[in-house]
Structure 1
């Protein structure tokens, strides 16, 4: 570890001498902890990082109009690279699902969770995966996701007769690693084998003021932030994750964000679509370096309206990427095709497929080409007098990389459009915000389970014993839903609910293993 004098010299050389302003006021233990933290910083590149952050923030604040240079090169994802749950032939959908189950049954599929964020907008001090949105069962996001993994393993084994494992890789950060580990241990890993849950940590980088100075969170603490979900690729290398995947025989990786309550873990349809996306290929054959193999894929949902503030998966100059909604002119966003649908409708939901070999290529060749993005944040700090300040306006810059920034490096990029009401309801904000709250997430899941129950032939009654028509699938997620919750251990995606046929069920109702056994008795 470098000495205090070496660190002091490095900080002075990069214009960050203020970091040690309160050193004399720290106790010996605090000094030791702070010195270790400073030693972990990339001191030789600190000046470059601070300067780049300030410049990028200034450019971002100056850019208030769509990028007109982008427009001539913009085009939608070509039809040959796109599938759709609502438009594709049922035989195609069945074939993709069979292929996905085949790969799962052979333990070639892993899921990778992006869970390093702090959840500041949600207003909690613990990892977002530990959040209880208020379901009748009280299940957290982590428990729901763990049970979906258990169920998909069971379904694959039942279909193909071979016991399989879907390993769960969880990327955490300095803020979320220990609480997540403890939470899983306290809950007996939700029935999963501990050896098949691998948590690893992404890097942290300093937050910077608008004039390029490292922010002190405390007298002996630099304000640090995870390097965005695009920090995944550096974290894969830092933690030997790809080597672990290779040892297990994993070839395909389903990557998703922790906050989507409707996410389909290791979705066999999506996996199968990406593996067998070329019509002339034999569905059950594959090769990790096959030229027709979809090496990188994205799930999307149709934009609700032209101005919806979501990134659009498209191509720029023939290269796939995600373009921010603010970069597209309103008249372009409003363009519609001959079918009446938006031309640029592929809304990004941070739900991706990668081959392990593609991830290896990114780590070995492309990860240093990823450009960081600017996020302006309200970062608590100590002022020059040592007073703690909690800002009410953004005062700092956090530089982030995005997981989808690797799309341009794909040899064969594919896109699958799914139904929003079935697969996407993120939890980002506290209740009271207009969207993406615990209430909207809870109601989205309950509404989905009500649709499953009704499709299986059940009649649902509300708490007063009155039958309530099912809301249409396009209804807003914040509309009150009947409280019918179906455990992932009973049904992964609406299958296996024949036991509900002809039953009249008064809600609130939880269909778990015990309730299923009682209905079948």
Structure 2
């Protein structure tokens, strides 16, 4: 074997995790080698210490926290802001200079949607049949074209974080679809890390007699993965100064949004976030705020009813900046995360974890939570920012998450589909176009318009028939 079996076993025994070798002698030679290879990737002492610390903290009463709204000088609303065009121009200039990258968190599976595929592969039912991945790829293509100089498109590298279960299917999906017209050299896949699953007394769990039960380490695992998988090195080699990082399930995500990039860059921001206004005080979303003087996301369950209803002088909710998992990072900030990573806590999630009983060897499929998964959140780093900025944007134009199965009525394929078609209608109307009646459905392709531009041809005209507008010729056919 290529792995020192006895040395590895002694290390696990010393950390109190020797029970995972209970069935080692029952495995074939190939299974033993595969098992040892998996175990060799685990820092058993550190993982055990982390689990015990997280469980100890999880079992204690919540520490008293002082919550404060975001200061007015940190947050601006982009709608009708007199600086919006200047921010957009600055962002486009940075894109034109090939200094902007996109980092996509796409490790989620479509299990809740009833799909066996990664969530990004999901077809939300648009007339075009486009998947979430395709919509986002085409927004990148449109921006690259808009930023072209001397006939040469700009380059926005796309770093796509997958997880163990989604990595191969995601790569295969991109290959099958010819990378949606993007240059494969500028699409870089990398995997987020995993953490062992634990019992409630911090013992490792077995998925099989020769396989440790593990789970993705949360979207906050992105920071370790960026370093471990060579993404930081790649960003620096490409001369990338800023990155836009977002979650795959938002069909309206303005990928590499020039206005967001320009706004943050103009303020020398190292860590920034987009938010949308809460729809009502009781909306169950996390909000960006300060906790004991440090920026972070406060979950709705942590805020009292009094704070949830508190309003500012302008009438807006004091704690109304809803988190939509949409971030800006300077490369310098991402590079220094390891210097404070040890201060980032792991959050405990109680889960039903199928496992092998190490006493009986029987496979157990629990009916109630029997173990924990540890994860970090992408917003855990906010408190370490030296220059934090928040941009408030329109929910209708920038946020429609896909989380629930068809027919759920909220955050589901039907609402995602409607969000895209409603936005397309607004694009047409803002450009001066009209619709024959409310039954007309138009889908404006991102290849034609990123955010409503390039639609002058509809001005003063009436759209007579439903269809997909991919180019200017399509507009003529729809009139």
Pairwise TM-score range, normalised by the shorter structure = over 0.9
| Separation in structure 1 between the aligned mates of residue 191 and residue 255 of structure 2, nearest angstrom | 21
- Residue 377 in structure 1 maps to residue 351 in structure 2: yes
| Separation in structure 2 between the aligned mates of residue 87 and residue 457 of structure 1, nearest angstrom | 18
**Structure-2 residue corresponding to 1:309:** 284
Q: Deviations over 1:387-412 (max 9, x none)?
A: 44433433221111111111111111
- Residue 411 in structure 1 maps to residue 386 in structure 2: yes
1:333-412 pair list within 5 angstroms: 333-363=308-338, 365-383=339-357, 384-412=359-387
Runs ≥4 in structure 1, deviation > 4 angstroms? Answer: none
C-alpha contact (below 8 Å) 1:375/1:397 kept by paired residues? yes
C-alpha contact (below 8 Å) 1:458/1:500 kept by paired residues? yes
| Separation in structure 1 between the aligned mates of residue 446 and residue 23 of structure 2, nearest angstrom | 52
**Structure-2 residue corresponding to 1:424:** 399
Aligned to 2:459, which of 483, 496, 501? Answer: 501
Residues 518 and 316 of structure 1: CA distance in aligned 2, closer, same or farther (over 3 Å): same
Aligned to 2:72, which of 79, 83, 101? Answer: 79
C-alpha contact (below 8 Å) 1:205/1:226 kept by paired residues? yes
**Equivalent position SS for 1:391:** coil
Residues 131 and 101 of structure 1: CA distance in aligned 2, closer, same or farther (over 3 Å): same
Q: Deviations over 1:129-184 (max 9, x none)?
A: 111111111111111111100001111226x9764111111112222222111111
C-alpha displacement of 1:211? 2.6
TM-score normalised by L of structure 1: 0.86
C-alpha displacement of 1:87? 5.4
Residues 80 and 141 of structure 1: CA distance in aligned 2, closer, same or farther (over 3 Å): same
C-alpha contact (below 8 Å) 2:458/2:475 kept by paired residues? no
**Equivalent position SS for 2:337:** helix
TM-score normalised by L of structure 2: 0.93
Residues 53 and 220 of structure 1: CA distance in aligned 2, closer, same or farther (over 3 Å): farther
**Structure-2 residue corresponding to 1:320:** 295
C-alpha contact (below 8 Å) 1:50/1:214 kept by paired residues? no
Residues 23 and 362 of structure 1: CA distance in aligned 2, closer, same or farther (over 3 Å): same
| Separation in structure 2 between the aligned mates of residue 215 and residue 119 of structure 1, nearest angstrom | 25
C-alpha contact (below 8 Å) 2:467/2:478 kept by paired residues? no
Q: Which runs of 5+ in 2 are unaligned?
A: none
Structural RMSD (CA) = 2.3
| Separation in structure 1 between the aligned mates of residue 465 and residue 351 of structure 2, nearest angstrom | 43
C-alpha contact (below 8 Å) 2:468/2:474 kept by paired residues? no
C-alpha contact (below 8 Å) 2:351/2:370 kept by paired residues? yes
| Separation in structure 1 between the aligned mates of residue 202 and residue 218 of structure 2, nearest angstrom | 19
- Residue 233 in structure 1 maps to residue 226 in structure 2: no
**Structure-1 residue corresponding to 2:266:** 276
Q: Deviations over 1:182-214 (max 9, x none)?
A: 111111111111111111122111111223222
**Equivalent position SS for 1:185:** helix
**Structure-1 residue corresponding to 2:65:** 70
| Separation in structure 2 between the aligned mates of residue 328 and residue 136 of structure 1, nearest angstrom | 41
C-alpha displacement of 1:8? 2.6
- Residue 136 in structure 1 maps to residue 127 in structure 2: yes
C-alpha displacement of 1:12? 2.5
